[in-house]
Structure 1
């Protein structure tokens, strides 16, 4: 009888212990989930909320330079400045183009060293991807860049925080020209000019090495001008301080 009582007591103690363990871990999981859901989500700048009828054209430069001169000549003809986001490999391969872009008055932007999915990297790896391009461009042009576009548009909170620590505003886009799909000149022009999100403060994504971009560029510029938009580089479009981000990636000034 005594042995049976001791056995049941041990079973009871084990049940209480297991229940306590699972309750504690369930509470911890729930707490972590609530904390994660209420933590501030870091957002890049997709567009800028502004009363000015301005938009920004941007070009990602990661592969090839066959059309660079053509693009620069077109921009010069229309007397507009834009933003080029360059990988470290592109900077190293085409240093004269980097200098020409800077000399023409365009923004120099960081597009990472190796065009990787950066949220998959360690914090140190993220910083290396940024700092390597920073040093190359500064050595070539004397310019300290302040604009960063994540490869593939792929980001997380940590990447935006680390970019900020390195002195960068993280930039996305709200109008994708889809030039990288190589659908043709008319497709690029129509996609940009008739985009549902084209508005004051839009940031337009194009690519330096896409097949039809250089040919489509004059029509895109003329179409934007016909709609009344002034085309400016991203550095002139965004707010540098006293701003907050809306949930949709709109940058809003806090100045009254």
Structure 2
């Protein structure tokens, strides 16, 4: 069977193709990232992010320590924090809690907040909802048993997360916490580098990440606390920094903002 197209229809089809070609060319020339921006925007509409920092006009920041391996420097850190009358948040892994229950108890007794850092320090974004729930709840019970605290903050190991991780953990009445200032104290570095890296980024609402067993963290901590004191910053546990009432998380930077 043969099909015949009239000259009028052929002209119309040609015109449409030509218009589309011109439109695509102009868009590419003047808006070269437009398709990518559209796709990114659509993805970001559904993307969930943890809390990295908090919008506040007050000169307040939070300092946090992740504890997963070793406890050699923890008592020294506690002594320095006590010297400056500073309370912080320690995120503890279950296997660390089991190995160092007395240290965990001392952290809590010193008035520091205890956060949940998982049971086995896994890559959370590779787990099922059931596995995520186990990582959180089993550690929650251990924290409660050893420190008598009801943890409400969770920091995912390696800082890895996805929507399932956040959704599942929030259903367990937890908030997922990241950081806005990374001391990178776990890398080969010096105390001076850690001090410089942290102090140059301190601003209201920041959350700082340290590790309890990093070699140079004790030597860096005192000058950082001294800097905060001189600049008029109050250091509080993360839960005290978080906003109360209605809020949203800015997907561009993880900032907790009031509505």
TM-score tier by shorter-chain length is: 0.7 to 0.9
2: CA distance between counterparts of 1:232 and 1:34?
A: 36
Structure 1 unaligned segments of length 5 or more: list them: 6-32
2: CA distance between counterparts of 1:243 and 1:66?
A: 39
2: CA distance between counterparts of 1:227 and 1:188?
A: 18
2:94 equivalent among 78, 88, 95: 88
Shift of 1:122: 1.0
Deviates more, 1:33-42 or 1:123-132: 33-42
- Report the counterpart of residue 258 of structure 2 in structure 1: 253
Shift of 1:58: 0.4
- Report the counterpart of residue 226 of structure 1 in structure 2: 230
- Report the counterpart of residue 129 of structure 1 in structure 2: 135
Contact 1:182 1:212 in 2 (8 A): no
Residues 1:139 and 2:180 are matched in the alignment = no
Number of residues of Structure 1 aligned to a counterpart in Structure 2: 221
Q: Secondary structure of 1:252's match?
A: strand
**Alignment RMSD:** 1.7
2: CA distance between counterparts of 1:64 and 1:130?
A: 21
Q: Secondary structure of 1:101's match?
A: helix
> Which digits, 9 at most, give the CA deviation of each residue in 1:114-160, with x for residues without a partner?
11110101111111111111010111222110010000100001101
Contact 1:173 1:202 in 2 (8 A): yes
- Report the counterpart of residue 117 of structure 2 in structure 1: 111
2: CA distance between counterparts of 1:185 and 1:105?
A: 26
TM-score (norm 1): 0.83
Residues 1:209 and 2:218 are matched in the alignment = no
2: CA distance between counterparts of 1:77 and 1:251?
A: 30
- Cα distance, 1:186–1:139 mapped onto 2, change above 3 Å: same
2: CA distance between counterparts of 1:58 and 1:38?
A: 28
1: CA distance between counterparts of 2:226 and 2:175?
A: 29
TM-score (norm 2): 0.82
